[in-house]
Structure 1
Amino acid sequence: MRLDKFLVECGVGSRSEVKKLISCAEILVDKKICKDNKKNIDEVNTVVEYKETRVIYQEFRYYKLYKLDGYITATEDKKDKTVMELLPEWVNKKDLFPVGRLDKDTEGLLLFTNDGKLAHELTSPKKHVDKIYRVLLKEEIGEEEIKKLEEGVDIGGYITQPAKVEKINSKEILLNIKEGKFHQVKKMLKAVENEVIYLKRETFGKLTLEDMFLGEVREINREDVI
């Protein structure tokens, strides 16, 4: 792989930016300054350094975020703040995108990757990936409403798949679903004549929030995800 392409793929900068770094003697290759942006390197074994730190090549990258409310799940938007703005500087954002979606006013677990194949596996309706939400309700919820949620409800011409509900108290539940329809949780509770006043996704497949704090980002491995 060419040195400039390697640096771009690793998120050091754009092609023009890394060419400037190379020409300004900012890049070391095997402990020596390299000013040849076309130099071919072994992306695994060649030691490339920038700012005294080795640049490690990773074709695919995975990060999990404890999303705050007030941000939409998109890579860019002309009106609203996006979840990309919650990612700190150290995150390699090249080709990164959020997997699935959380509503603007929803908190919780959100995965970012540049691995399109994995993203498809996690969001395909055929894969039935569990997603658990903590839901605070406006009204008390009874056993009859819980049974309806577990059996499937009509959310506007679509009957949801069977779900699992754990009742925490009269106005709080953990809702486990395998789908990701637009505003699905809110629509499901509306279908049983209730209203969501707070929503947080706590798990997504194998991923959990663990002891993360609101707004925190962690880099993870593919094995952590699926």
Structure 2
Amino acid sequence: MRINKYMSLSGHWSRREIDRFIEEGCITVNGSVCVRGQDVSEEDAILVMGMPIPDKPKPVYIALNKPPGIVCTAVRDVRNNLFEYMDYPVRIFPVGRLDKDSQGLLIMTNDGDISNRILRSEKSHEKEYVVTVTKPFGGEFLEKMGAGVAILGTVTNPCKVSRISSDTFRIILTQGLNRQIRRMCKELGFYVTRLERIRIMNINLEGTELGEWRHLTDGEMLTLFEKLYGKTRETTSGK
């Protein structure tokens, strides 16, 4: 396994941070300075600034109801960044993103494997949104959104779309292109004024007010693991 992936699975550093360590010569493998892209295994003696990789921290799984204005970035110099907003005592990261102007559900974790499994587009994991646009729409708009819209050099996958009111609809996606819903709406002549993600797979915002977060329950985790792994996976949440 590549060194940056291997070390990121420990939950202590991002791949970008590990790449920086490598560039600065801070990592050795079996006594030799590590090089970018080097393959390693569990049998290798890996030291970071002369110290072994710490044990993997206790897994954390959180549902955050992100408010508008918070930026999903690990760069702490960025104003209103997500990590400063949560100020969580251990390193966690979002599963996927919500753009600055959007709100709603973010799953926060330090479990890189579960994050990768949720984000795999070929697995068609559902993400549900409630969207308000600038003007009323008709049935043709809903049909086109559901059938697929040409954006970013491709056509979006068919998806489930239903009306909530004259200017608000519900949409369930199984892919995650950059600013996908906003781009789809714009292509059809509409602009999004409010976008809220309310569900990722079996995880929703029930009982979590805007700006608040909670640890996932054991029941939620059991169902999530069954969907991702086809069976339960032993874990202890960070409660």
Alpha-carbon RMSD across the aligned residues, in angstroms, is: 2.1
Q: Match for residue 136 of structure 2?
A: 140
In structure 1, what is the Cα distance between the partners aligned to 2:68 and 2:209?
A: 13
Q: 1:219 aligns with which of 215, 218, 224?
A: 215
Q: Match for residue 75 of structure 1?
A: 74
User: How far has the Cα of 1:76 moved from its partner?
Assistant: 2.0
User: How far has the Cα of 1:126 moved from its partner?
Assistant: 1.1
User: How far has the Cα of 1:122 moved from its partner?
Assistant: 0.6
Question: Which protein shows a greater Rg?
Answer: 1
- Aligned residues of 2:66 and 2:105 also touching (Cα < 8 A): yes
In structure 1, what is the Cα distance between the partners aligned to 2:183 and 2:214?
A: 31
- Aligned residues of 2:76 and 2:84 also touching (Cα < 8 A): no
Q: How does 1:186-197 map to 2 (within 5 A)?
A: 186-197=182-193
- Aligned residues of 1:71 and 1:82 also touching (Cα < 8 A): yes
In structure 1, what is the Cα distance between the partners aligned to 2:206 and 2:178?
A: 26
2:170 matches 1:174? yes
User: How far has the Cα of 1:82 moved from its partner?
Assistant: 1.3
Q: Which moved more, 1:78-87 or 1:129-138?
A: 78-87
- Aligned residues of 1:75 and 1:98 also touching (Cα < 8 A): no
Percent identical pairs in the alignment equals 30
- Secondary structure of the residue aligned to 1:146 is helix
Question: Cα deviations across residues 97-144 of structure 1 (Å, max 9, x unaligned)?
Answer: 111000001110001111111000111111111111110110211111
In structure 1, what is the Cα distance between the partners aligned to 2:163 and 2:117?
A: 30
User: How far has the Cα of 1:182 moved from its partner?
Assistant: 0.8
In structure 1, what is the Cα distance between the partners aligned to 2:222 and 2:192?
A: 33
Q: Match for residue 125 of structure 2?
A: 129
Q: 2:93 aligns with which of 94, 97, 112?
A: 97
- Aligned residues of 1:132 and 1:202 also touching (Cα < 8 A): yes
User: How far has the Cα of 1:77 moved from its partner?
Assistant: 4.2
- Secondary structure of the residue aligned to 1:108 is strand
Q: Match for residue 160 of structure 2?
A: 164
In structure 1, what is the Cα distance between the partners aligned to 2:76 and 2:137?
A: 37
- TM-score, normalised on structure 1? 0.70
Letter in 1 for 2:90: K
Question: Cα deviations across residues 134-188 of structure 1 (Å, max 9, x unaligned)?
Answer: 1011021111111111110001312100111110111000111111111101001
After the TM superposition, list the runs of 4 or more consecutive aligned residues in structure 1 that deviate by more than 4 angstroms: none
Count of aligned pairs: 170
2:65 matches 1:66? yes
Q: 1:225 to 1:80 in 2, by over 3 A?
A: farther
Q: Which runs of 5+ in 1 are unaligned?
A: 1-8, 11-42, 44-56
- TM-score, normalised on structure 2? 0.66
In structure 2, what is the Cα distance between the partners aligned to 1:76 and 1:163?
A: 33
User: How far has the Cα of 1:58 moved from its partner?
Assistant: 5.8
- Aligned residues of 2:63 and 2:106 also touching (Cα < 8 A): yes
Question: Cα deviations across residues 177-216 of structure 1 (Å, max 9, x unaligned)?
Answer: 1111111010011121111001110001111000211111
